[in-house]
Structure 1
Amino acid sequence: MVFSQIEFISGGSLDCSGGHRYSARGTAYYPANNALEGGFVDMRGHNLRTLQDYLDGKASYVSVAMDNRAGIPYGTAICIPEMNHKHGRNIVFKVVDTGSAFFGKGHSRIDICVRSQSLSYDSTINNHLTLVFP
């Protein structure tokens, strides 16, 4: 199933054809050892993978945080057309993290992992995003 999720992302158009679509409010977070950001690892103890590391070819996906009580399995791949268009290629996002800000939000809220605080102010991320699930 993991292969089919990656194929779903990489085989589709920048608009993320197919799948289930949800409207969400996007925000960004970054690896930092403080209460707000939550550390350097995801909810299962794996290192966070940033958008910039993915774009630099240093990561196979981008870590995102969502409501872990919404029935979204750990590692689920998501396609986000707004981010694909901004960067001119398909980006693989995976739900691997959560936090108290997401409890009860379902599919309506997503936090995308970026490299630093200054990059967390990205106007595309901090906006309305379309989440496409396989």
Structure 2
Amino acid sequence: NNLKKAGYDVIYKVHPDRTREVDGIFEEKAEIRKGYVEDCLDRADAFLFGSIRTSAFATILCTNKPIIALRMESDEPFKPSSEKAMECLKKRCRFVNAGFDERNRIIFDESELIRALSRKPEPPNNEFIETYMFLKRAK
């Protein structure tokens, strides 16, 4: 709701395995989209991820669109394979720190998210995808 209050049109792309679980939750807050994330590429100016551990995240990394991702406290023991990988991701994505409350709901500083979304888009840094996603051919 706060994204809409801040003037953003929100699209919620439902994970294919979670369509029943989200029924009735987001209809008032966002346009609901089902299907493949690739079908939403032209509809969104930026992408927000609650987790970077999705196949959709890898797809969106290969676009020119801004990416904002929640960096969960619980992700700390499971960082990408190296600090260098995370440093590369930070050059491509804007991260917002997040955690869980006593009822296991995701919490984060909403003003930090709005600031991340409102920053002027920059040309994407492709260091992460060039280093970690594409095989280098032997010469």
Do these two structures clear the TM 0.5 threshold for a shared fold by scoring above it? no
Structure (1 or 2) with the larger CA radius of gyration: 2
Q: TM-score range by the shorter chain?
A: under 0.3
Structure number with greater CO (CA < 8 Å, separation at least 6) is 1
Q: Which has the higher helix share?
A: 2
